[in-house]
Amino acid sequence: MLITTSMLLWSIVIALLLYRWLRSTGRKPKNFPPGPAYSIPFLGDYGWMLLINGRHLHKAAISLGDFYRTKILGISLSNFPSIVVNDLAVAREVLNRKEFDGRPDLYLARLRDKQFNRRGIFFTDGPAWKEQRWFILRYLRDFGFGRRFPEHESEVNSELLSLIDMLKYGPKYEHEKAIMKDGYVKCPNVLFASFANSFLQVVCGERFPREECGALFETGSNAMLFQRNGDDYGTLLSFYPWLRHIYPFSRRFHTLRDASLRINDFIQSIIEKYLHTHDPNHVRCFLDLYFREMEKCTPQESSFTFQLDQLVLGVVDFFFPAISGATTQLALLFERLLHNPHVIKRMQQEIDDVVGHGRLPTLDDRPQLPFTEATLREGLRIDTLVPSGIAHRLQEDTKLQGYDLPKDTFVLIGMDAMHNQKEYWGDPECFRPDRFLDSNGKLSLAKDASLPFGAGKRLCAGETFARNIMFLALSALMQNFNIRQPPSDRLPDLTDRLTGVIVTPKDFWLRFEPR
């Protein structure tokens, strides 16, 4: 077949246009960290990451960093200059510099709000964020969030006793029967009610009674839907929101959107219950303090102040990690413990020696339970829950490790990567709680360089609450039970995890066998 001159010229023109498109798509600023020279049209370097490892984008970023021999990877996310920091020392620097404290305007965050506004604490920034974050943390502390509070610890103890009763004697209600079959319970779902109630006690001073906890199990399932269907980078919807109208992107959009709104409706129903009976002269709980501020403010649309939609997402931002984050972290740890039964035995011996069996472990026992605490810390390290953290946004032009970064650069922290750096951990692939103990068997915080909750101004505000509730739950369960898989099940494949917004195991079943 003869090629005409016209066809040849058109081929050259198309080739030149394609070359120019490839050169301009995802072009990075001067003196930017190393990364792919050419981006995939439309997708940017997000496309390369999908090709390298679409199921685990944080691992794709590690592979790209290794290929370009850099701990600070420079990429373009659909024309947004972005960096991924895969080094512990650099991550600490970034997290403690205020110019990195911004948040990008991600559509994944906006779809959580009924009107697609930026609301809440985790995905907002600026003066309004600072005011809201300060107020919420300051007054939640008065009710036991982030500090020792005997009344709250007593309620958590009661909640754990209820969980232990269910595990020992079986389900009493229909919602419990859905997660318990033939003596086995579904993980992480079995923990939803206990962890959610522990947080709700702080916010509104009440817990759902056992017979009414079906709403908590349903809300936890919705939270897991969101966690598993998002991704580290906000999904492609954050770069091209119009894709929500096109299948199959529309399917994921509706899964994320519907799950979010159901969680919001649940929290709003609790808020409105207290709002309808609010007396400005009588403070019953944290919500009453927020209602007082709402009465002084006029609701805003473009930004936010003390207003109902902001309160809903503000509470959701703390409730969400409690019901789906901390519960998932313990489920990941249960899988590790199935592979390491000697760790279970050692925790049980320690708890038996210190606490005995007449009561549940308390936070006062924690200093005398160093191996149990070390086991939890090792779980937080080796199974990093949020593998790329939550994206930051650079608020001004700056330099990092000799590189020039322009304002509005996306910044992702490779939490999983830095928790597996051989230069810091030696044998990061090994589950070894003793790495956090000194020569006398005492917990050594100096040996724990991990940052599972971040650092700096964007440190996860629920760190203390999460560490406390996970410690109390783990120690209570180890005190009272051994864990067993169904006889037909193989040991869990620890490489076969799901990566969404967080890393989760596939749902699995365990028997908590009374000791």
3-state secondary structure of 482: strand
Strand partners, 418: none
Would the pLDDT of 153 be above 60?
A: yes
Q: What distance in Å separates the CA atoms of residue 66 and residue 79, rounded to the nearest whole number?
A: 23
pLDDT in tens, 350-403: 999 999 999 999 999 999 999 999 999 999 999 999 999 999 999 999 999 999
Please state which CATH class domain 25-118+387-419 belongs to. Answer: alpha beta
Provide the CA 173 distance to its chain's centre, in angstroms: 30
Mean pLDDT on 472-489: 97
Q: Are 481 and 515 in contact, with CB atoms under 8 Å apart?
A: yes
Residue tagged 């922290």 (tokens):
413
Backbone angles phi, psi at 267, to 5 degrees: -65, -40
Q: Are 482 and 344 in contact, with CB atoms under 8 Å apart?
A: yes
Strand runs (DSSP E) across 260-397, as ranges?
392-393
Domain locations in the chain? 25-118+387-419, 119-384+420-514
Mean pLDDT on 479-497: 96
pLDDT in tens, 156-179: 999 999 999 999 999 999 999 999
* 102 DSSP 8-state letter: B
Mean pLDDT on 77-102: 95
Q: Which pLDDT score, from 0 to 100, does residue 41 have?
A: 82
3-state secondary structure of 279: strand
pLDDT in tens, 420-476: 999 999 999 999 999 999 999 999 999 999 999 999 999 998 999 999 999 999 999
CB environment 483-514: b (16+ within 10 A), e (fewer): bebeeeeeebeeeebbbbbbbbbeebbbbbee
Name the nearest CA neighbour of 327 among 224, 207, 244. Answer: 224
Would the pLDDT of 1 be above 50?
A: no
Q: Which pLDDT score, from 0 to 100, does residue 40 have?
A: 85
With bands split at pLDDT 50, 70 and 90, how would you rate the model's confidence at 143?
very high
Mean pLDDT on 7-16: 65
Strand partners, 148: none
Quote the tokens at residue 148.
Answer: 């020792």
- Looking at residue 319, its amino acid is F
Widest Cα–Cα separation across the chain: 92
> Residue 171, preceding bond cis, omega within 30 degrees?
no
Provide the CA 334 distance to its chain's centre, in angstroms: 18
Q: What distance in Å separates the CA atoms of residue 509 and residue 27, rounded to the nearest whole number?
A: 48
With bands split at pLDDT 50, 70 and 90, how would you rate the model's confidence at 226?
very high
Q: What is the 3-state secondary structure (H, E, C) of 50-88?
A: HHHHCCCHHHHHHHHHHHCCCCEEEEEECCEEEEEECCH
Q: Which pLDDT score, from 0 to 100, does residue 9 have?
A: 62
- Give the residue, 4 or 382, on which the prediction is more confident: 382
Q: Are 455 and 96 in contact, with CB atoms under 8 Å apart?
A: yes
Q: Is 187 annotated as a binding residue?
A: no
Burial of 463 (0-12, 13-18, 19+ CB in 10 A): middle
Name the nearest CA neighbour of 76 among 109, 110, 107, 48. Answer: 48
Would the pLDDT of 22 be above 60?
A: no
Mean pLDDT on 181-196: 97
Task: Check if 25-118+387-419 and 119-384+420-514 are the same fold.
Answer: no
Please state which CATH class domain 119-384+420-514 belongs to. Answer: mainly alpha
Residue tagged 């830095």 (tokens):
418
Would the pLDDT of 5 be above 80?
A: no
Cα dihedral: 254, 257, 258, 261 (round 10): -170
* 302 DSSP 8-state letter: S
Helix, strand and coil percent figures for the chain, each rounded to 5: 55, 10, 35
Q: What distance in Å separates the CA atoms of residue 47 and residue 40, rounded to the nearest whole number?
A: 6
How crowded is residue 327: how many other Cβ atoms within 10 Å of its Cβ? 28
Mean pLDDT on 392-419: 97
Backbone angles phi, psi at 173, to 5 degrees: -125, 160
